[in-house]
Amino acid sequence: MKKILLILCVLTFFPSSLMADALPDSPKFKAARDQLVKYDIEGHGISDPQVLAAMRSVLRHCFVPQRIISRAYADTALPIGAGQTISQPYVVALMTASLKLNKTHRVLEIGTGSGYQSAVLAKIVKEVYTIEIKEKLHHKSNRLLKTLGFTNVKTRQGDGYFGWPEASPFDAIMITAAVNHVPPPLLKQLKDGGLLILPLGNPFSYQNLTLITRNGDDYTTKLITGVLFVPMTGQAMAK
């Protein structure tokens, strides 16, 4: 398996007004996306055709600050402001593929961030419900996702620790921030047979990308690989 680059938070503030927004695609961007998928995603073991197609089609350059748009298709995490990052493309693909998604699924994402992961999920599943705790990031990503035409993404500003109970149960849940335990409300909102993926471990050190499967009232876990994500805030920090 490919060695994963660190999903390390760079605490540089980029105002939301400097995000790339819905910049048009171009042959240069498309070629860079194709190269990224061929060598850094498919070339390192991701074979799900739906995931590969989504990674080729989502315009990552729209989800990064303008000042670093030249790095939009590098296989690395990038700062998006408010102490958050847009995840490394390989990690986005790995987490998405691990959930074994299809077009009938409804997915809950905890940590909208830039909206990039939401967009990738939306290319594959029926509905995406995504929650962002930081208000400025929520408004920015919500506006961008709408502008880009992702009508099957529903957004909410709030603490993702508590999930989206009125829309549950979900076929899959993805947590895109590090937490040292699995939030109990999220386990309850997972369908029987559903999958939950998260970076589990010390929020300020390395974590294990962990896949949890619900089997009735029992849960099985599978460790995938080591990662380093920014910490999950809100109620997660109180535990």
Question: What one-character DSSP code corresponds to residue 65?
Answer: B
- Asked if 158 and 94 count as a contact pair (C-beta separation under 8 A), the reply is no
State the Cα–Cα distance between residues 206 and 217, nearest whole angstrom.
Answer: 29
Burial 136-156 (b: 16+ CB within 10 A, else e): ebbebbbbbbeebebeebbbe
Q: Is 168 a catalytic residue?
A: no
Which among 87, 114, 118, 141 is annotated as catalytic?
Answer: 87
- Asked if 127 and 147 count as a contact pair (C-beta separation under 8 A), the reply is no
Report residue 128: phi and psi, to 5°.
-120, 130
- 158: which 2 tokens? 């709030």
Q: Which residues are catalytic?
A: 87
